[in-house]
């Protein structure tokens, strides 16, 4: 069994409230038994993930999916459940007014409406004590000529500047990019370069969010991670995995080697140090699989990739790299990747009073049967689209 390197204790993963709700594709959203009906039940489920993994202490909210009358009450309930509220996700992608865009819309009245929603989310952060405002814009165009690409960037930066000015000292923006969907010709924040340009223009409290499902096939995401860490502008990850597009599958499920390479650049770039402020969030949809188990498995996948990354022999690697030993250097990384860290992680859990097998322990806890029996009636939560 491998001794676990220091640093794993620093890995804190944030689970998304919407992963516990019904989700699907344009073809079908399959309802599942026991699904939460409100943010309180979502948080109770998220608390289970932390209870069995010891590594998921915060929960991200999405507004208005998680709208409540009293956010400080929700924050108190969350602490009572053993977790804390994390990032606040704005939503300017589901209102009919946003047909031609939200903050980039040609119509100033609609831009005003969208910006006001973003400002409302900062008010919510004040109530929940959240540090991060996560901004993802579905804004874009579908046909060449439909709108002026540069003018839309001007509108976007104007709205971002107003929101940035509203931030408190300890608050920040996470600007997420995405190559395409729902826009299919130009997305206004399509890549890390565009997000970084806006962040640099705004100021130090604006950072980039890397959603691992938002790149063109073949994109070297770990290069983006290394570059953003080097620039001090890597704010967060939205972890998931994909075989084709924004599939939002469990992180590490489709490409565990890619997740390892990403976490190696995180470790190498000092991103695991809480002082660097990188948020490790999951952004997934468990369309057909049990949701709480899916989140537990996802947290374990990130723990495994991070542990392997922490095992890389940095001295041997640097020696091989500096001497031009191509295969030697590659072998150092592959040795770490090919190390079975599961027994060590099981021991890490036991040392912390956790069951070595979180999924088996969760299944044996009877929690799922309890919520299936309790959560009868009412309306199951979903994306509300
Ligand atoms: C957009 C996205 C964004 C969230 C949404 C749930 O694809 O990744 O992070 O708002 O999913
Ligand atoms: Mn995302």
Q: How far apart are CA 283 and CA 19, in angstroms?
A: 7
pLDDT value for 373: 98
Question: pLDDT digit of tens for each residue in the chain (385 aa)?
Answer: 556 777 899 999 999 999 999 999 999 999 999 999 999 999 999 999 999 999 999 999 999 999 999 999 999 999 999 999 999 999 999 999 999 999 999 999 999 999 999 999 999 999 999 999 999 999 999 999 999 999 999 999 999 999 999 999 999 999 999 999 999 999 999 999 999 999 999 999 999 999 999 999 999 999 999 999 999 999 999 999 999 999 999 999 999 999 999 999 999 999 999 999 999 999 999 999 999 999 999 999 999 999 999 999 999 999 999 999 999 999 999 999 999 999 999 999 999 999 999 999 999 999 999 999 999 999 999 987 5
Three-state SS across the chain?
CCCCCCCHHHCCEEEEHHHHCCCECCCCECCCCCCCCCHHHHHHHHHHHHHHHCCCCEEEEECCCCCCCCHHHHHHHHHHCCCEEEEEECCCCCCHHHHHCCCCCCCHHHHHHHHHHHHHHHHHHHHHCCCEEEEECCCEECCCCCCCHHHHHHHHHHHHHHHHHHCCCCCEEEEECCCCCCCCCEECCCCHHHHHHHHHHHCCCEEEEEECCCCCCCCCHHHHHHHHHHCCCEEEEEECECCCCCCCECCCCCCHHHHHHHHHHHHHCCCCCHHHCCEEEECCCCCCCCHHHHHHHHHHHHHHHHHHHHCCCHHHHHHHHHCCCHHHHHHHHHHHHCCCCHHHHHHHHHHCCCCCCHHHHHHHHCHHHHHHHHCCCCCCCCCCC
pLDDT value for 277: 97
Ligand number nearest CA of 17 is: 1
* Ligand 1 atom nearest residue 209's Cα: 9
- Ligand 1: residues with CB < 6 A are 18, 89, 136, 176, 178, 211, 238, 246, 283
Q: How far apart are CA 62 and CA 60, in angstroms?
A: 7
pLDDT value for 93: 98
* Ligand 1 atom nearest residue 91's Cα: 10
Q: How far apart are CA 332 and CA 337, in angstroms?
A: 9
* Ligand 1 atom nearest residue 181's Cα: 7
CA of 135 to the centre of ligand 2 (A): 9
Place of tokens 């826009």: 183
Judge whether 43 and 381 are in contact, CB under 8 Å.
Answer: no
Judge whether 7 and 272 are in contact, CB under 8 Å.
Answer: yes
pLDDT value for 384: 74
CA of 173 to the centre of ligand 2 (A): 14
Q: Which amino acid residue places its CA nearest to atom 10 of ligand 1?
A: 136
Place of tokens 């104007």: 158
Tokens representing residue 3 in the block = 């001794």
CA of 283 to the centre of ligand 2 (A): 5
Q: Which amino acid residue places its CA nearest to atom 2 of ligand 1?
A: 136
* Ligand 1 atom nearest residue 16's Cα: 6
CA of 283 to the centre of ligand 1 (A): 7
Judge whether 284 and 17 are in contact, CB under 8 Å.
Answer: no
pLDDT value for 2: 59
Q: Which amino acid residue places its CA nearest to atom 4 of ligand 1?
A: 136
Of 98, 187, 283, the residue with max ligand 1 atoms within 8 A of its CB, to mutate for a pocket test, comes to 283
Q: Which amino acid residue places its CA nearest to atom 6 of ligand 1?
A: 283
Of 211, 237, 284, 285, the residue with max ligand 1 atoms within 8 A of its CB, to mutate for a pocket test, comes to 211
pLDDT value for 6: 78
Q: Which amino acid residue places its CA nearest to atom 1 of ligand 1?
A: 136
């Amino acid at each position: 069994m491998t001794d676990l390197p220091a640093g794993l204790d620093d890995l804190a993963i944030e689970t998304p409230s919407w992963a516990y709700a019904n989700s699907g594709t344009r073809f079908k959203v399959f309802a599942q038994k026991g699904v939460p009906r409100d943010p309180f039940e979502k948080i109770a489920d998220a608390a289970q993930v932390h209870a069995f993994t010891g590594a998921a202490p915060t929960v991200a909210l999405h507004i208005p999916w998680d709208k409540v009358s009293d956010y400080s009450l929700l924050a108190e309930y969350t602490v009572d459940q053993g977790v804390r509220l994390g990032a606040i996700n704005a939503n300017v992608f589901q209102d009919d007014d946003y047909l031609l865009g939200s903050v980039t819309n040609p119509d100033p009245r609609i831009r005003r409406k969208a910006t006001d929603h973003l400002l409302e989310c900062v008010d919510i952060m004040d109530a929940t004590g959240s540090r991060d405002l996560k901004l993802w814009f579905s804004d874009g165009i579908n046909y060449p000529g439909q709108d002026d690409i540069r003018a839309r960037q001007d509108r976007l930066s104007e709205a971002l500047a107003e929101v940035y000015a509203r931030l408190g000292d300890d608050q920040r923006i996470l600007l997420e990019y995405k190559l395409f969907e729902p826009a299919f010709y130009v997305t206004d924040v399509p890549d890390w370069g565009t997000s970084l340009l806006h962040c640099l223009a705004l100021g130090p409290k604006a950072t980039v969010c890397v959603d691992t499902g938002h790149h063109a096939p073949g994109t070297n995401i770990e290069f983006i991670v290394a570059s953003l860490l080097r620039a001090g502008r890597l704010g967060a990850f939205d972890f998931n995995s994909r075989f084709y597009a924004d599939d939002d599958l469990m992180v590490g499920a489709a490409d565990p080697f890619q997740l390892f390479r990403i976490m190696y650049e995180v470790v190498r770039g000092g991103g695991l140090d809480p002082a660097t402020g990188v948020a490790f969030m999951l952004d997934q949809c468990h369309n057909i699989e049990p949701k709480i188990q899916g989140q537990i498995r996802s947290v374990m996948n990130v723990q495994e990739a991070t542990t392997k990354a922490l095992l890389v022999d940095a001295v041997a690697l640097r020696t091989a790299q500096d001497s031009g030993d191509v295969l030697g250097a590659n072998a150092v990384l592959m040795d770490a990747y090919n190390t079975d860290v599961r027994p060590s992680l099981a021991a890490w859990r036991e040392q912390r009073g956790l069951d070595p097998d979180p999924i088996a322990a969760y299944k044996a806890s009877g929690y799922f049967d309890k919520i299936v029996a309790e959560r009868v009636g009412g309306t199951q939560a979903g994306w509300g689209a």
